[in-house]
Amino acid sequence: MDPFSSAAIARQTWELENNIVTTTAANDNSAASDAIFYYDGAAQDAFQQEKPWANDPHYFKRVKVSALALLKMVVHARSGGNIEVMGLMQGKTDGDTIIVMDAFALPVEGTETRVNAQADAYEYMVDYSQTNRQAGRLENVVGWYHSHPGYGCWLSGIDVSTQMLNQQYQEPFLAVVIDPTRTVSAGKVEIGAFRTYPDGYKPPDEPVSEYQTIPLNKIEDFGVHCKQYYALDITYFKSSLDCELLDLLWNKYWVNTLSSSPLLGNGDYVAGQISDLAEKLEHAENQLSHSRFGPLIAPAQKKKEVRKTITFASFIT
Amino acid sequence: MASSSSSGLTFKLHPLVILNISDHYTRIKAQSQPPPTSSAVNDAVSSPPPPRVFGCVIGVQRGRTVEIFNSFELLYDSSTHTLDRAFLENKQELYKKVFPHFYVLGWYSTGGDAQESDMHIHKALMDINESPIYVLLNPSINHAQKDLPITIYESELHVIDGIPQLIFVQSSYIIETVEAERISVDHVAHLKPSDGGSAATQLAAHLTGIHSAIKMLNSRIRVLHHYLLAMQKGDLPCQNSLLRQVSSLLRRLPAIESEKFQDDFLMEYNDTLLITYLAMFTNCSSTMNEMVDKFNTAYDRHSRRGGRSAFI
């Protein structure tokens, strides 16, 4: 788009107001900003030896995900439909930031009861990493991702124990959860990055981050473990060439934007959410009738929940 | 070397492939040229031209439609012009496990134009797929061009100077996407706030997207209109094929007026309104609830001063 179109000006104003820092400068200094793609093996090894995370459980605070990794993860998660899928992420670390450069899928079907990838998945992992290294991707595996289709981005009990194990033996390691159903129905990417606290560590009280609705049948699992891990901030980056291509892609894309209809794609998901909300309201009502002072505390939670689902429902319509 | 293809196949390209190729290229370029120090002046002319990268594209072919879903890297030795077959087979196996439906459709490379040496690779891949496609991405950033710098070539047997030779012919393609892909591409392209912010900013971002799409539609229609007017006035030669397409498009418009369509449309419209109504209702009742609580707090404290002070 030409630099003086109203769309471009609007975007720039918006970017300014929201302090968006793109790693690619708009001017011609693209080589310096593409530096993030350069893998410095020696520096990475030195960092591994140091292990600064061993002393501070809250060491890693941010995650930078590349455009390619995000696209691959979301497409893979969506292709699983209602089945949980998982995969690994490759990347490197940079101070207190974990950088995810690429992701690949694993040929395992995840169910809630499966703790770890099986033996053939390990073989796949090794094979794939080897071929990648030959092809020029030198980064190591730096985390794993899996999908929670329809029930939000958080770590379940199994996930927490898996991640704790990973953090003992494969540091630095990151857990990422993607919800493809909510992504498609809300029109924005639902993704969360987490690291667990080691056993026995009491985290400082942090303010509750963005509240998300969780279906009743999962809410117990969520509540029991929600204090054992913390969420990291996610930002995205792309190369200068990516920027160009994505801009040009938009010229062909606008048709799809207009023709996409979140309602058609997710009719049953929306209906499911509404019935879940109805159940929760009934629950709240029962609690109300059981106690006298309870009503003041319990409905406060329910109201927040209700409000969140409302905004969500009105948003998709 | 490139003329337009006559095979009649339609090509659909997914954005994931484009990002894959771009990432591969950026990676190799970054490895071969370590990042300059902040004090050095970046002089693009002095650095050697970045190396070409090669890879394989995989996807599905259904009838006459070829859909390219994914891609992976290949090892190619440009000095001996050999493709590493073992590597290719290994990678193929790995990808088959995760994506059992996809198979090798062709290969890709970066560069300005298709070259003679590319034909060697093309022929080498012919034993996997008898008619491979060649996707070429031009990584030089040209701010003036409006089109994607990607071309798809097919190979055709042409008789030149009495010798049947394989040459590359260009084919057109369309960008195909699934909803999830579109959202993430949108997300990264415009770097929307990832933490969600408030519902208002999300809604604003969503509406901006739709707004720009509609503007695009508007401008395209205007261009068409302008073109037709010029043809009518006689400024431009009449192109019957184009006129036929336009008239078929216009003839489709009244379909929206039919009764069946109106029924379906209104039913959906009513459903959405119902949900919004329900949402509003719940919101109202919860606000009312809150108001009642506040009222109780305020007024009870007045009357029962000695009684329970910690009401909440």
Angle between helix B179-190 and helix A240-259 axes, rounded to 10 deg? 130
Residue A118: band (very low, low, confident or very high) from pLDDT cuts 50, 70, 90: low
Q: Which residue has the higher pLDDT, A76 or B178?
A: A76
**pLDDT number for residue A153:** 85
Q: Which residue has the higher pLDDT, A118 or A193?
A: A193
Which of B175, B181, B283 lies at the smallest CB-CB distance from A71?
Answer: B181
Which of B31, B180, B208 lies at the smallest CB-CB distance from A78?
Answer: B180
Of all residues in chain A, the percent with pLDDT exceeding 90 is: 1
Residue B189, pLDDT above cutoff 60: yes
Q: Is A50 strand, coil or helix?
A: helix
Do residue B33 and residue A31 have CB atoms under 8 angstroms apart? yes
Contact in structure between A153 and A192 (CB atoms under 8 Å): yes
How far apart, in whole angstroms, are the C-alpha atoms of residue B135 and residue B150?
7
CB count within 10 Å of CB B283 equals 16
Point out which residues pair with B67 in neighbouring strands: B12, B60
pTM surpassing 0.90?
no
**pLDDT number for residue A29:** 34
Q: Which of B256, B183, B188 is closest to A182 using CA atoms?
A: B183
Question: What is the ipTM for the molecules in this complex?
Answer: 0.73
Q: Rounded mean pLDDT of B196-216?
A: 69
- Average pLDDT over chain A reads 73
How far apart, in whole angstroms, are the C-alpha atoms of residue A8 and residue B221?
21
Measured CA to CA in angstroms, residue A67 lies from A72, A140, A307, B234 at distances of 9, 18, 32, 49
**pLDDT number for residue A227:** 79
CA atoms within 13 A on the CB side of A291: 10
- Residue in chain A lying closest to B209 (CA): A257
**pLDDT tens digit sequence for A174-193:** 899 998 888 877 767 788 89
Residue A292: band (very low, low, confident or very high) from pLDDT cuts 50, 70, 90: low
Residue B254, pLDDT above cutoff 60: yes
Contact in structure between A189 and A74 (CB atoms under 8 Å): yes
**pLDDT number for residue A176:** 92
Of all residues in chain B, the percent with pLDDT exceeding 90 is: 1
**pLDDT number for residue B259:** 81
Do residue A310 and residue B72 have CB atoms under 8 angstroms apart? no
Q: Rounded mean pLDDT of B105-133?
A: 80
Do residue A37 and residue B214 have CB atoms under 8 angstroms apart? no
**pLDDT tens digit sequence for B26-44:** 888 877 766 554 433 444 3
How far apart, in whole angstroms, are the C-alpha atoms of residue B252 and residue B102?
36
Contact in structure between A129 and A57 (CB atoms under 8 Å): no
**pLDDT number for residue B274:** 84
- Residue in chain A lying closest to B279 (CA): A310
Q: Rounded mean pLDDT of A226-244?
A: 81
Residue B195: band (very low, low, confident or very high) from pLDDT cuts 50, 70, 90: very low
> Degrees (nearest 5) of the Cα angle B112, B115, B120?
140
**pLDDT tens digit sequence for B210-239:** 787 788 888 888 988 888 888 888 777 777
Residue A110, pLDDT above cutoff 60: no
- Residue in chain B lying closest to A260 (CA): B179
Residue A306: band (very low, low, confident or very high) from pLDDT cuts 50, 70, 90: low
Q: Which residues of A touch B196 (CB under 8 A)?
A: 188, 210
Q: What is the DSSP letter of B12?
A: E
Rounded to a whole number, what is the distance in Å from the CA of A300 to chain B's nearest CA? 9
**pLDDT tens digit sequence for B58-98:** 888 888 888 888 888 887 776 766 777 888 888 888 888 88
Measured CA to CA in angstroms, residue A41 lies from A79, A91, A139, B42, B50 at distances of 34, 12, 8, 24, 21
Rounded to a whole number, what is the distance in Å from the CA of B283 to chain A's nearest CA? 6
**pLDDT tens digit sequence for A15-68:** 555 544 444 333 333 444 566 777 777 777 777 777 777 777 778 888 888 888
Q: Which residue has the higher pLDDT, A19 or A282?
A: A282
Residue B120, pLDDT above cutoff 60: yes
